[in-house]
Amino acid sequence: MNKKKILIALAGNANVGKSVIFNHLTGLHQHIGNWPGKTVERAEGTLHYKGFTIDVVDLPGIYSLSTYSLEELVSRKYIAIEKPDIVINVLDASVLERNLSFTLQLMELETPIVIALNQMDIAKSKGIQLNTKKLETLLGVPVIPTVAVKGIGIDKLLEKAIEIVEKKPSEKKVQVTYGEEVESKIIKIVKRLSNAQLIYPHRYVAIKLLEGDEEIEREIQRIDPEIVIAAKEFAGEIECIHGHCCSTVMTSERYEAAGCIARAVQKVVSPMKPTRVERLHNFTTHRVMGYITLVVSLLIIFYAIFTFGDYTSEFLSNLLYSLEPAFTSVFGTGNIGKLVWGGIMDGLIAGITIVLPYIIPFYLILYFLENSGYLSRIAFLMDNVMHRIGLHGKAFIPMILGLGCNVPACLGCRIMETQREKLLAAFVTTLVPCAATTVIVLGLVGDFLGIHWALGLYLVNLALIFILGRLAFRLVPGEPTGLIMEMHDYRWPHSKTILKQTWLRVVEFIKIAFPLIIAGSFALKLAEVLGWLEPVALALNPITVVWLGLPAITGITLIFGVLRKELSLVMLGALLGTTNFALVLTPIQMIVFTLVAMLYIPCIATIAALVREFGWKKSIFITVFEIVFALLIGGIAMRVLGLII
């Protein structure tokens, strides 16, 4: 009896405080991964409570349980197949009606539920009074009011969840009843399904068949195609009666039911007057002030991250390189010593000096912006611009991330709705110059030719992003999605949640990037020790020397840049024996080299991130395309610049 296991799933709309509750419940015992074979994130954690081992799964934030998106499908299947002992449905008390419409769908899955009525404080500040007892009665489901960011109600929630699992109370189930016409059709379909063995409840299947749910239709097609045909006929009849498609009618009726419950349990006491958060919202989405705020905040963020990053990165790298003599004394200066230090340790140091100084602050700020609600305002402001390259406002977010590092940016493309949009956003993102690229641009062109040339290169890069983005948008099949996004009220984020989210991301980054950076660094060192670099450089001569007009040595350094972009410049300095590049490179060569380095390939860690999200085929395609494209542009630039300079 004393080692009982309980499986809890957290479900609810996006931005209702689900992850805050998840963090309260699971503390540090959590990890994120993907759902098997899907690019949908899965957060899991474990807690021990009163002799129970409780596994908690945080389902994605969704608005419906249909098959509109992978997230919805994954959640629905999880609840139906894994049958969690209890689902904690987190609701935003300040937007009750919409949240309840999801609850009603969840109840159709006939899973045990407890409701966390979260953000009671925000509801209160909006003048909304809620009668939780009445809500409990109307839904037939226990309701616990919570303020997750302050930890209020979490213990009670957990107690209640365990209590339900223990007692298996047979509370009278309350069901959403649809309008008469719809109900009669549901009953008819349920009757025909009576002998079928299904993973979903029969009533649910009947409802989804009427709604024209593709997954369920496929399922039933195998069992009895006649049922699908009958359901389609019924749906047609309902469409005739109501003048709207059946799925719309049913969603509408569900919302009606949710609205009825919401109106019965809530009382708006104070008239809605613009509160502080409202004024902040109006300011940050204003047609002039909004953009000024956006630009200023981005500048401050980048300035802060790069200042902090540069300083810390240098400090760490000095610290770590001071270990070199110790290593040399152990492994010697021979080939083994070279491989251990120049291969493995160099790779490790490279990783460390990126992660700590740049990635960590980046994620901290990103999550602050996301949890506070500002990211959705940014998406709102940038929607129009992003449409020019066939994406919508949300895609701007991975692109900003890309300026820091392409790896989290590629992973960040998950926020897009469809697989097509995810891929397009990721492709565009890999063209965004990351922090390491910035080092090359500023260190070479910026230092030796002046800042205006560096800015010029950025503008060229931006133009190319737009051109290629548009092109990809035209070529990749599928229909573009428009922006449909909730902008929840601004709120002060929960700091522990931000820290934990950051921590999980950093671990994820280390897992993806470190093995490749170290292995790649080792392989290159090995090639150097074996004397393979010279022949490679020679073989690349037609490209580097003839087509790009660069010194032959750049063939090698550009290969090193695959590991980390700035290595291509660092190596160039090392191999040429000087960091005064003005002595060894002409201005044109500097520009061409920088341009190629900016565009030529997502670094090895980015490729790993791409593979993880989109598979080998697409990743290789993007990589090869960008190499060819960069070389093409580099060669053209060399010839054009030759005419100008």
* Contacting positions for another protein (CB under 8 A): 63-64, 66, 68, 94-98, 101, 212, 214, 243-245, 247-248, 251-252, 255, 259, 281, 285, 287-288, 290-291, 376, 379-381, 383-384, 387, 392-393, 479-489
Nearer of residues 95 and 569 to another protein, judged by Cβ: 95
Q: Compare residues 285 and 544 and give the one whose CB is closer to another protein.
A: 285
| Closest CB 290 distance from another protein, rounded Å | 7
Nearer to another protein, 344 or 485 (CB): 485
- Quick one: 26 or 67, whose CB is closer to another protein? 67
Q: How far is the CB of 291 from another protein (least distance, A)?
A: 7
Cβ closer to another protein: 96 or 432?
A: 96
Nearest distance, CB of residue 187 and another protein, angstroms: 23
Count of C-beta atoms within a 10 Å radius of residue 392: 22
CB of 119 to another protein, least distance (A): 12
Q: Which two tokens stand for residue 146?
A: 């919570």
Of 234, 226, 231, 227, nearest to 181 by C-alpha is 234
CB of 488 vs another protein, minimal distance in Å: 7
Pairing of strands 128-130, 266-268: antiparallel
Total residues found in the chain within this entry = 645
3-state secondary structure of 200: coil
CB closer to another protein, 46 vs 251: 251
The distance of closest approach from Cβ of residue 421 to another protein in the complex, given in angstroms and rounded to an integer, is 12
SS (H, E, C) 332-395: CCCHHHHHHHHHHHHHHHHHHHHHHHHHHHHHHHHHHHHHHCHHHHHHHHHHHHHHCCCCCHHH
Residue 251 or 335 having the CB closest to another protein:
251
Task: Identify whether the C-beta of residue 61 lies closer than 8 Å to the C-beta of residue 12.
Answer: yes
Q: Chain centroid to CA 640: how far?
A: 40
Please report, in angstroms and rounded to a whole number, the separation of the first and last CA atoms in the chain.
82
Radius of gyration in angstroms for the set of CA atoms belonging to the chain, rounded to a whole number? 28
**Nearest distance, CB of residue 477 and another protein, angstroms:** 12
- Residue 172: what residue type? K
Nearer to another protein, 281 or 525 (CB): 281
Query: Sign (positive/negative) of CA torsion 541, 547, 548, 551?
Result: positive
Of the pair 25, 96, the CB lying nearest another protein is at 96
Residue with tokens 């001071």: 322
The CB-of-285 to another protein minimum distance in angstroms stands at: 7
Distance CA 47, CA 23 (A): 11
CA angle 516–521–525, rounded 5-degree value = 150
Q: Which residues contact 73 (CB under 8 A, 6 or more apart)?
A: 67, 215
Q: What is the 3-state secondary structure (H, E, C) of 490-548?
A: CCCCCHHHHHHHHHHHHHHHHHHHHHHHHHHHHHHHHHHHCCCHHHHHHHCHHHHHHHC
Q: How far is the CB of 615 from another protein (least distance, A)?
A: 22
Nearer to another protein (CB atom), residue 340 or residue 379: 379
The dihedral through the CA atoms of 278, 279, 285, 291 has a sign that is negative
CB of 219 to another protein, least distance (A): 16
